[in-house]
Structure 1
C-alpha cells in the first residue's frame, strides 16, 4: 500500500530538515565541547607552534581537524595577529592549513557514515556523552562528554539525511539541477556556496553533497562542484566578520578570500581531469572508489593543490596586503627615519634614532596635554595613541639592536643607550597620560568650587612644564623648564594637603578624594618623566649633535 502524495512529501521534507538539524546540532556540540575542553591547548599551539611557515601550516591543519571548526581557528588566528603574537605571514599560513584541516569532516562522513550501521555507534555515543556531561565533576571532562554526544548526533543526522536523499531521488530527478557543461558546474558551485552561507557551516554543505552523491540523487561531478562552492562559501562569513574590524583582521580575511577563490577557480577548471586522476590512482588498488570517498579525496586534494599554488604566491601577496587596509594609527606607528641602510653606519644610525625618538616625544607630549585638558579624548582614541607609542617604541628598540651589532665606538654605544633611555621616558609619559585620562573620565559628583579652581591652576602649571620640556634647546624659554618643574612640585604638596583636609573633614567623599589624589600623583610623575626626557635628551644632543631634516619633520634638538 503506497502512501498518499502529501504524506510522502511531508516524510521527505521532515527527514531532510530533521537530518540537517541533527547534523548542525551535533557539529555545534562537538565543536563547542572540543574548544572548551582544549581552549588552552588551542592558544598554546597557535601562540608557540607557528614560528615557521611549515609549522604554521601544520598547526592550522591539526587544530582545525581537532576542533572541527575552521571558523574558530580563523577567529583565534585573527586575535593572535592583532595581539602581535602572530605576524601576518604566520597568520595566513595558519589560515591555509585551516582550510586543509576542515576536510576532515568529509573523511569522517565517507569512512564512517556509509560503511557501517550508524546507529550502532551514534546512539551509544549520544548516551555516554550525555551521562558524562551530566555527572562528571571536572569541567574539561564535562565538555568532552558534550563533544562525544555531538559526535553521535552528527552521524545520526547523516543517516537521516542519507535516507531522505534516497527517498527524494526516487521521487524527484535532482540530477536535473545539474545541467550539462560548464554552466551546470557553475550553478552547483553557487548552490554549495549558498547552502554554506545559509547554514553557516561548510561541513553541513559538504555532508549534504556527499549524501546526495552516495544516494545517486546528484551526479558525482555536480556534487564535486557543490563541494567547491561549500569551500568558497566560507569566505562570505569571513568578509562579514571583519566589517569595521582592524586592519590586521581585514588582511587575514583577505588572504582567506584569495586562497579560497584561487583554489576554487583552479579546481573548477580542472574538475573532470582531477576526478579522473583521483579515480585512476585509487583504482590502482583494484577497488572502485565509492562516490563519498572520491569526494573526500577530491576535497582534500584541491585544498592541498591550493596550498601548493600559494607557495610562490604567498610572499608577494603578503607584501601587497601589508600595504592595504592601513589605518591612521598604523601610519603614525610606522618609523619615518629608521631604515636598514642607516643601521649599517653607526653615526647615521644614531642620528636616525634620535630623530625617531623625537617623534615619539611629540606623540607623548600631545597625549599628556590631552589628558590634562578640560575634556580628555575618548578612551578608544587615547588607547589607539598609546598603542602607536608602544609599536613605535618596539621599532626603535629593534633598530637600536641593529645599530649595536658589532664593535661600536664608545661614543656611539653610549649614545644608543642614552637614546633608548629617553625613549622609555617618553613611553612612561604616554602610559601615565592614558591612565590619568581614564581616571578623569570618572566625573566627580561631590566637589568644591575652591578645590576645582586650585586643581585647575595646578594642572595649568603641569601643562606649562610639559610645553617647556618640548621646546628646542636654543629657545630662550627653554631655560625656564627646571623652574617650572620645581613649581609643579611645590604646588603639588599644597594641593595634596588641601585634598586630604577636605576629605578627612567630610567635605569630599573619601573615594573621590582618593581618585583626585591618584590623578595629581600620576600627573606629577608625568611631569617628572617628561623633564627627565628633556635633560637626558639635552645631554645626548650635546654629545652627538642633530639638525632638523626638513620642514615636515617634527622638531629635533639642535646645538
Structure 2
C-alpha cells in the first residue's frame, strides 16, 4: 500500500511540476508568445513552426490551443491557419517528451535550489517567476526518478502483474485509459512521460505503453474541446478541428503499433526512448498527412459548428476580456486595457451623436444614445469583474500602476456617459419637446466646444494607450483653454440676454447647463493626464498648495514679529489658519482639479450652472 501511495504522489508531483512550468512560462513570456503566434501565420509552414516553438516552451498543446482559439474567436486569425498552428503544437509536445526522457536526474536538485532562491528573493519580478519555472522543471525530473524507483518495487507484486496482463489484452482499452489519464492530469506530456517511465522500469509491457501513448494523444484533443465548451462558437472550432486531426492520427498509427514493435524497436536499446520516439512518430505522421487537409477540415468544422448569426452589434459586448489570459497577469492587463478603449469608443459614439441631437432636435437618436449608457455600464462592470480576477500578487510595480490606471479610466468613462445621458434628457425635455432652438451665436459656441471636446477625447484615449508625456501636457493645456472658453461663452450668453435676444432668453437655462456639463466632461477626460505626469514632477502646484505655502509664510512672519518684540499683525490680515480658525480641509483630487472655475453667472429666468 505504501508503494502505491508513493507512486500516486510521484505522479501528482509530475502533474504539478508540469503546471508550474506552463504557468511560469506564460507569465514571463506570455505577451511574446502571442506575438510569435500572431505573426507566424502567413503560411501553413510558418504557422506550424510557430506552434512548435511556443508549445516547446509552454509544454502544453492545450495552453497553445486556448491562445489560438482566442485569436480565432476575435477574428484575428483564420481557422485554417490556427489548425496548422495546432499541428506544430503537437510536435512541440512530443519533442519535449524526448528531452525529458533523457537521464537528467542530476539536474533536478540544482534546478530546485536555484528556483527556490530566485522565487523567494524576487517573487514579484520576472526573475522570481522564472525561478518558479525552474522549480517546476526540477520537480518534473525528480518525479520521473521517483516513478522509476516505485514501479520497480511494485512490479514484484503478483497482483500488479495480473492487472498488467489484463491490460495487454485490448488495444481499445489501452487507448481509452490513455485518453482518460491525459484528461484527468490536464497534460498529455505528463501522461506520455509517466507511460514511458513505467515501461522503462518494467512496470507495463511495451505494447501496452504504445497503446497508452496513442490514447494520450487523443486525450489532449478531447481536453481542449472540454476546456472551451462554454466559449463562443468561433473559439470552439479550433479544438474541434484539432480533435479531428487526433482521430486521423489514431486511425493511422494504432494499426502500426505492431510495425513499430517489429522494425523500430530492435534498433532502439532504451525502452523509454522506444515509447517517446513512437510518440514523436505519431505526431510527425499526423502532420505529414493532415498539413494539406487544414482547409478541408476547417470547412468541415464550420459545417459542424456554424458561426452564430448574431444581430447584436459587436460594439455592445465585451470583445477583449479573454478568460484564458487570466493565468498570465501581464496578458490579462493588456486585454483589460483594450476593453477599456472599447468602452471609450462607445462613449465617443455618444459624445459625437450629442451634437446631432442638439442641432436637429432628433428625439429618436437621443433615445438610441441614452441606451448606449447601459452598454457603457455593462462594459464597466465586465472590466471591473475581470480586473478583480487578476492576481495582484503576481503583478510587478509597473503592472500594478497600470491596473490602477485602467480602473480609474473606466470609472471616468462611465461617469462621462452618465453626464452625456443626463444632457440628452435635458435637451429632450427643455428643447425638443418644446420645439425651441438655440440662437445662431449660441449654436456656434456649442459647436466649437463640442469640436474641441471630441478632439480632447481622442487625445485622452491616446494618452491612456501610449502614456506619452508630451500628449499628457497638451491635454492639461487643453483643459485650461476649455475652462477659459466656458467663461467666455457664459459672458457672451449674458450679453445676449441683456440685449433681449428671444432665442437666448428661451433657452438660457439649458445653454448655461450645457456648456457647464461639457466643461465637466472635459475635466474628466483631462484626468487621464495626471497618472502620466505625476511621476515626472511637471504638474503645476494647485491653488490649495499655494494657499498652504502662504499660510506657512504668514505663521513664520508672526513668530518673527513676536520674537523681535514687534506688534503682531491683526488677525484680519492673516489667513484663517493663522488667526485661529480651522484650516481648510484638502479634498481628494478628482477629475475636477483644484483650479476649477467658479460657477457661471446665473442668468435671468434660468436656474444657472450646475
The answer to whether the 8 Å contact 1:100/1:300 transfers is yes
Determine the C-alpha separation between the residues in 2 that align with 1:274 and 1:194: 24
Alignment correspondent of 1:111: 102
Determine the C-alpha separation between the residues in 2 that align with 1:453 and 1:258: 59
Determine the C-alpha separation between the residues in 1 that align with 2:520 and 2:507: 15
Matching residue within 20, 24, 27 for 1:33 = 24
Determine the C-alpha separation between the residues in 1 that align with 2:433 and 2:421: 22
Determine the C-alpha separation between the residues in 2 that align with 1:206 and 1:80: 28
The answer to whether the 8 Å contact 1:178/1:188 transfers is no
Deviation at 1:511, TM superposition (A): 5.8
Alignment correspondent of 1:225: 211
Alignment correspondent of 1:194: 180
Alignment correspondent of 1:147: 133
Determine the C-alpha separation between the residues in 1 that align with 2:432 and 2:261: 75
The total of aligned residue pairs comes to 387
Determine the C-alpha separation between the residues in 2 that align with 1:220 and 1:496: 89
Matching residue within 212, 221, 225 for 1:235 = 221
The question of 1:379 aligning with 2:375 is answered: yes
User: What is the CA deviation profile of residues 275-295 of structure 1, one whole-angstrom value per residue up to 9, with x for unaligned ones?
Assistant: 333225xx2xxxx42111001
Any gaps of 5 or more consecutive residues in structure 2?
315-352, 357-363, 380-409, 448-503, 525-610
Instruction: Call closer, same or farther: CA 1:445–1:54 in 2, change over 3 Å.
Output: closer
The answer to whether the 8 Å contact 1:65/1:101 transfers is yes
Alignment correspondent of 1:501: 512
Deviation at 1:243, TM superposition (A): 2.1
Deviates more, 1:100-109 or 1:488-497: 488-497
Pair member with larger Rg: 2
Alignment correspondent of 2:46: 55
Alignment correspondent of 1:158: 144
The answer to whether the 8 Å contact 2:167/2:208 transfers is no
Instruction: Call closer, same or farther: CA 1:54–1:370 in 2, change over 3 Å.
Output: farther
Instruction: Call closer, same or farther: CA 1:500–1:454 in 2, change over 3 Å.
Output: closer
User: TM-score, structure 1 length as denominator?
Assistant: 0.60
The answer to whether the 8 Å contact 1:179/1:185 transfers is no
Deviation at 1:122, TM superposition (A): 0.8
The question of 1:298 aligning with 2:278 is answered: yes
The answer to whether the 8 Å contact 2:71/2:77 transfers is yes
The answer to whether the 8 Å contact 1:129/1:147 transfers is yes
Determine the C-alpha separation between the residues in 2 that align with 1:317 and 1:124: 46
Alignment correspondent of 2:189: 203
Secondary structure of 1:102's partner? helix
The question of 1:98 aligning with 2:92 is answered: no
Determine the C-alpha separation between the residues in 1 that align with 2:420 and 2:368: 19
Any gaps of 5 or more consecutive residues in structure 1?
1-8, 334-363, 384-434, 463-482, 516-559
Instruction: Call closer, same or farther: CA 1:497–1:50 in 2, change over 3 Å.
Output: farther
Alignment correspondent of 2:8: 17
Superposed structure 1 runs of 4+ greater than 3 Å apart: 172-183, 329-333, 368-371, 373-383, 438-448, 451-454, 456-462, 488-505, 508-515
Instruction: Call closer, same or farther: CA 1:458–1:211 in 2, change over 3 Å.
Output: farther
The question of 1:268 aligning with 2:254 is answered: yes
The answer to whether the 8 Å contact 1:19/1:161 transfers is yes
Deviation at 1:177, TM superposition (A): 4.0
Determine the C-alpha separation between the residues in 2 that align with 1:111 and 1:279: 17
The answer to whether the 8 Å contact 2:24/2:130 transfers is yes
Deviation at 1:142, TM superposition (A): 2.2
Instruction: Call closer, same or farther: CA 1:163–1:49 in 2, change over 3 Å.
Output: same
Deviation at 1:235, TM superposition (A): 2.3
Alignment correspondent of 2:306: 325
Instruction: Call closer, same or farther: CA 1:509–1:95 in 2, change over 3 Å.
Output: same
Deviation at 1:456, TM superposition (A): 4.9
